[in-house]
Amino acid sequence: MEYRRLGKSGLQLSVLSFGSWVTFHKQIDDSLSDRLMGLAYDSGINFFDNAEIYALGESEKMMGRILKKKNWDRTSYTLSSKAYFGWRGDQNKPNQTGLSRKHLVEACHEALQRMGVDYLDLFFCHRPDKHVPMEEVVWTMNILIQQGKILYWGTSEWSPAEIMEAHMIARQYNLIGPVVEQPEYNLFRREKMEHEYLDVFRTVGLGTTIFSPLASGLLTGKYNKGIPEGSRLGLEGFEWLKNRNLLEENVARVVKLQAVAEQLNTSLATLAVAWCIRNPNVTTAILGATKEEQLKENLKALEVYPLLTDAILQDIDAIMQTKPKARTH
């Protein structure tokens, strides 16, 4: 396993990590989660990602049950949660969502209870909240750090301007700014990582925990001939994900990409994850497997990404046609 520093912080995360979005509680049960987390940990993965909204809190409870059973040294792994959406779904009342101090503090306490731990290594603001002053968010995260309930804080799906505003406020009050962003990054969605965040990487520094490196499985090739039963794009409630990703032109590109995978003697999934971690601004790519074979296949990206030469990357760009246009200024 390779480990990378999280932005300018001192924290080291495994370049591949394990997450529970969609899979935990919805697609897999405790025994399979136990095996997958065990395989991940034994392979050197030290970051496990979660959030209050995943399976409406059930995902965190499941991860908590497994951590208790595994009894790993708490200092040997890092754990995250995210707050914004709340976990009560349609039953959310005012103050049970968003980034107010009330919700962030309560969401943190609830995540600690559900996962059965004393602190979170990373705590994310799961979306920006235009109704809450940035001062309130930055101060709240610092209070949680001072109380020892979280160690680092970050953002997910924030704009560069919002991240920089948080840093300016942190500097103004001598507080700790966000050290990490969790964006989507894959061969279909490249704008943020390769274009928008460049100034943030260069100035204040920013770690990244990438979600959906396989574009919800589209980049594995399994949707090339329709939707297999039990796969996430066929799940009820995830139609938006299907409508966004499963476009004919996208599938056509994935079919062509198969040739590059064959040239490297690897699978499409492994190639896509390897491509993602080839970007030095990626701290870790979060894997969301439902089968042991999938996780083992994805872990091979560690061997494949050093083989991605500039020439091969150009071939991939030519097939995908998704590279952001170069900046003109």
Residue 322: CB atoms within 10 Å: 16
In angstroms, the CA 287 to CA 97 distance is 27
Q: What is the dihedral of CA 73, 140, 168, 4, to 10 degrees?
A: 10
DSSP letter string, 78-108: EEEEEESS-SSGGGPPTTSSSS-HHHHHHHH
Task: Identify whether the C-beta of residue 304 lies closer than 8 Å to the C-beta of residue 311.
Answer: no
Cβ neighbourhood burial of 98 (10 Å; 0-12, 13-18, 19+): buried
The tokens describing 7, both together, are: 């932005």
Q: Among all residues, which ones are annotated catalytic?
A: 54
DSSP letter string, 249-295: HHHHHHHHHHHHHHHTTS-HHHHHHHHHHTSTT--EEEE--SSHHHH
User: Which residue shows structure tokens 């020892």?
Assistant: 148
- Cβ within 8 Å of residue 253, ≥6 positions away: 319, 320, 321
Residue 176: CB atoms within 10 Å: 16
- Cβ within 8 Å of residue 119, ≥6 positions away: 112, 148, 149, 150, 151
